[in-house]
Every structure is written in C-alpha cells, then in structure tokens.
Structure 1
Amino acid sequence: MRPVRLALASALLGVLGLAACGQAQDSAPAPSSAPPAATASASGAFPVTVQAGNGAVTIAARPERIVSLSATATETLFAIGAGPQVVAVDERSNFPAEAPKTSLSGFKPNVEAIVEQRPDLVVITNDVGGIVAELGKVKVPVLVEPSAADFDDAYDQIADLGAATGNADKAREVADGMKRELDRLAAEAPKNKKLSFYHEVDTTPYSVTSSTFIGRVYGLFGLVNIADEAPDASGGYPKLSTEFIAKADPDLIFLATAKCCGQNRDTLAKRPGWSGLSAIKNDRVIGLDDDIASRWGPRVVDFAKTVGGAVREASG
C-alpha cells in the first residue's frame, strides 16, 4: 500500500462520506500499468505480512472473523470471495446487500464494540483515534487502507486484502478484470471533441480536480475538468462559486448529489445564473450513484461506464 495522501483530501473525503454525497490526481495514469507485487503466495499460505497504510502487518492465520469499517473495503472483500469471512461491517457499508451491516462506525470507531465481534482482522480507512494501537493491545491485527490516490492504489489495496484473507488469486483476477475494462472503455471513448465537465461532490458546491482519484476516472475519456482552474484547486477538492461554474459553462455536469441530495437538471436550473448553462439546455446533466462515485473498489468500472456513455452521447 502506498503512503497516505494529503491530509486535507483524506479529511474532506471523510466529511463527504458522512454526508453520503461523495467521497474520494495530473492526467489519469493508464489503468493497464503493471500489477502490484504479490504480497502472499497464490496458495494463500500463512503467516503473511501485508504492507498496508499503517506499515507492515503480519497476519498469523487465515482470518475467519473480519470486521470491515470501510465501505470500499467491504465491497472489495466480497468481490474477492472473502464475504463468508466477514462477520460485521460499518453503518456505511451498504453493498453488497448481504454484507452484515451494523452500527459500527469507521469515522468514530468504538474499540469495545469492535472487540465484541471477536475479530481476527479489522480493515479501516484511517487510523482514527489511534484505533490501530488500541486494537493492538488485544492482539487484533488492523489493515489501514486509505483513500486511493490513483488506479494503482486501488489495485494495490485489492491485492492487500487478497493476501490478508487468503484470497490472493481471486483478488488478482478482480484487479486484472478492472484494468481490462477500464482500458477498453478508454480506448472506445470518442476522440473528436474536448468536452468540458463539472463534477458536483456536494451542494456547497465542492468539486474535484484531475489530481484526485475521481478526477482520474474522467481523465480516461479526455475530458476537460473546469475545477482545475479554480482559485483553490491545489487541495484537489475546491469549493466552486456559482459564478465560476456559470462562466466556465461546462458541456457536461455529473452529479454525485443525485441520490443523497435530490439534485437533477431541474433543481440545477433553479440555481442563480444556471438556467442558461449549456449542459442544462442540452440535457447533459448526468445523475450518478453517490456510493459508486465515492468509492475506489471494483465498482469504479460502473462509474467509468456511466461517464463513457455520457461522453459518447454528447459526442454523437
């Protein structure tokens, strides 16, 4: 696992995750880049040491009682075949439907509540409140898998979870499948236009630059991100003014505020100065699944398919 990225980005991602309006970066790297080095044998032999966000973590035996306090990790664990090993997930882990959802929180982890689940492995996005050390006192290994900065980070986390759970082969299969699909979608993207876009993270409105994981998904399709020119874009998640967006007049608007916040073309048209935006007049406002657009697991392919479809339609 690579080092944790900028604290500002991680903090904002946590806030947006709590709001359920989006979560989480240069042009996107080719998703077909070399796969991460294997951290365990294909046979899933234990003990195994995984290089996670909190350093080298040694897992003595195949875990059978995993607690996931990360919605992305939960999706990944089930995708790689570790679902039967998961005994509890946090309140934000709403996919897949069979995940054993509880009131546990990844943003405010409660050591006692976690220990009650008798875990032999805990997965979390950030070491909130020193949870790694607290669980270490009772000999529970913890993997910190932070918000991914790019595709390679996402693939690396899948490899981490595969190695840690004895599902290395399936993890490799999932990551390779993601790469192939992202390659295909990027190759099929129309190259005849340089379309601009605005991605709305919340109704404040915050957006994302091309340096973020979300921004890299759009980068696959050669889109021009209006947020890159924002005055405070250096943090990756600039707060844009309505005037800035109106002046940029993006060709496409993607809303990660559709499900959580009821935003759509009609609500945008009521915002001051927005009714004349090209994306609204041309019906190029695309509602996203807020959860898929805020996570960096296997369903990022679904996010990319939505973006690719919008680009093809707008380029036709």
Structure 2
Amino acid sequence: MRPVRVAIAGVLLAILGLAGCGRPAGNAPETPTPSGSAAGSFPVTVQAGNGQVTIAGRPERIVSLSPTATEILFAIGAGDQVVAVDEQSDYPPEAPRTSLSGFKPNVEAIISYKPDLVVTSTDANGVVDGLTKVGVPVLVEPAANRLDDTYDQIMDLGAATGNGAKAAEVAADIKRRIDELVAKAPKGTGLTYYHELDNTPYSITSNTFLGQIYAMFGLENIADKAPDAAGGYPRLSTEFIAEADPDLIFLADVKCCGESAETLAKRPGWAKLSAIKNKRVFQLDDDIASRWGPRVVEFARAVSEAVQKAAG
C-alpha cells in the first residue's frame, strides 16, 4: 500500500513548476520524432529537463529513479538495459526494483550499480551534479503538464537508449488509442466532476496533465472555481465540494487511503451529493492516475467508461 506522501510527491513536482520538455502544448504530432539525433545512432544529444545531455554510446546499465521513466523504458524495449529502478517503480513486475530513492537519491548508492545512464524526474539532493562529476549522464524527465510532454519524454528515452523507432511506435499508439476513446465518448454532456488526489482533500484543475485528459471528454472541473488554484492542485474544503455537487467523483486515493463511495458518504454533508446518490463514484488505480507514461491510456479509458455510464 502506497503512503500518502508518495501520492502527493508528484503533485508537489508540478506545483514547483517542473514542466515537461521540448514540444509546445496542443495535440501531439501525428508522427513523433526524436529530440536527439537519428534513432539508434550515437553519440546522441537529448534535450531534457536539465538541458542538453549528450550520451556517448548505447547505455547498457540504466538506473531509473522515476516510476514513469521505468514504465516508458520497458515499453520502448529498453528493459534489458535497465539494471536498477527506485523503490516506487512497481511496474512492470519484472523491473529490477531496489531500495534506491527517487525523492532523496543517494549518489553513492546509485554509483554502486555502475550506471552509464540515470533517469530521474527531479534534481533532488544534487543528484545531477553528483553523478555528472563522476561521468554519468543524467536525464531529468519532469512531471508532465500536458500530453505532449508524455510523447516528448517517450521520444527522449527512445533516442537516449537507441530505441527511437520503437519509441515512435509507442507514442503514436498512445495517441491513436486516446483519440479513439475520445471520438467514441458522448458529446456535450455538461457533466461536472471532482478528482480527489488524497483525503485531505487535494484536487486538480484543468491546467494540469490529468485535467487536460478530463477536458478531452467534455467534463467540467469543479476545482477550476476554487479560490486558490495552488499551481493547479488546490486543497478544497468539504463545504466547497458539497456546494459544487459534482455529477461524477473520481478517487485516486484508493490504495493509499482506502477511499470509496462508502467512506465518502460518511463525510459531513456528502451523503447527499449527486455523485454518491446516483452511484457515480469511480475508483481509480492510484499509480496509473499519478504517472504520465504509457498507461495513461488506461486512465483515459476509465474516464471514457465513466462518462458513458453517466450519460447512458
């Protein structure tokens, strides 16, 4: 079971303004292209969150300190190049999980795996400088703000690992599948929603990665009218949520906090919420809802199914 602090960590990254790299917001390109040189050729220079990073040769000992990066690496065919992943990288199951921390990385512990490439989502504890001093290239691939950031990071890691062609296939497939889900979804429903990050309760606005996906399905976010947007992740009062009375509620605090329609109904004033009375509370997988890698399609599918059920 994942502690609440882990669920909130990705949120804090976004609040601090750690944007994805490379491409402007909007629809992803039909045919994604690497930000580095031609796929499979080295040396390659990748434009990452920490600037331009040059990788001399195909890495064979990759250490991933980011659950999202781990998922991307295995999806693009670089899994056999990965020798260690951080303690939160629980997918795919075959990833070589260790006690390494992505939140408080220890340079000496990372070096013990003899990496020739390290991927992380933030430059915590001076990890970039520490590893660069000993000649280990580091790619910082921050929390995504838009779907384009997901495609961009997939292409970054494809170029960096010599798997550019497969990365392009993965990015194009994600885009195609999400576009198909959106095309099949009911239009003009006018449904409102509340997305719960944790039970304090923090939520998201439409100016976030997840908020963008909800908007693609025509949903209106009650948190957009919160008095303090807090960088896109406002802490809402129970009174605010009760007054907004959302049509749908999505829970991303199921694993960490055990939340459900039943637990929500016990909160003061919540038993009368339309979403609870109409059985429109949807439990999400905490991990899928907090990562911006290939499994974003599964999140989009969950939203699509909820919209179809509510509009049906």
Match of 2:287 among 281, 286, 291: 291
CA distance in 1, matches of 2:37, 2:55: 14
Match of 1:174 among 162, 170, 176: 170
1:1-316 alignment to 2 at 5 Å? 18-19=6-7, 23=11, 31-316=27-312
Q: 2:33·2:168 contact (CA, 8 Å) conserved in 1?
A: no
Deviation digits for residues 40-89 of structure 1 (CA, Å, limit 9, x no counterpart):
45550111000000001000000000000000000000000000000000
Give 1:20 deviation, angstroms: 6.9
CA distance in 1, matches of 2:128, 2:245: 46
CA distance in 2, matches of 1:282, 1:21: 32
Unaligned runs of 5+ in 1: 1-14
CA distance in 2, matches of 1:35, 1:235: 31
CA distance in 2, matches of 1:148, 1:192: 27
CA distance in 1, matches of 2:230, 2:96: 38
CA RMSD of aligned residues (A): 1.8
Q: 1:22·1:202 contact (CA, 8 Å) conserved in 2?
A: no
SS at match of 1:205: coil
Runs of 4+ deviating beyond 2 Å: 19-25, 29-43
CA distance in 2, matches of 1:266, 1:287: 12
CA distance in 1, matches of 2:78, 2:193: 37
SS at match of 1:45: coil
CA distance in 2, matches of 1:169, 1:40: 13
Deviation digits for residues 99-121 of structure 1 (CA, Å, limit 9, x no counterpart):
00000001000011000000000
Unaligned runs of 5+ in 2: 20-24
Count of residues paired in the alignment: 299
SS at match of 1:297: coil
CA distance in 2, matches of 1:16, 1:228: 23
CA distance in 2, matches of 1:168, 1:263: 40
Give 1:21 deviation, angstroms: 8.9
CA distance in 2, matches of 1:70, 1:76: 10
Give 1:217 deviation, angstroms: 1.1
CA distance in 2, matches of 1:21, 1:198: 20
TM-score, normalised relative to structure 2: 0.92
Deviation digits for residues 224-270 of structure 1 (CA, Å, limit 9, x no counterpart):
00000000015100000000000000000000011221100000000
Deviation digits for residues 108-154 of structure 1 (CA, Å, limit 9, x no counterpart):
00011000000000000001121111101110000000001101111
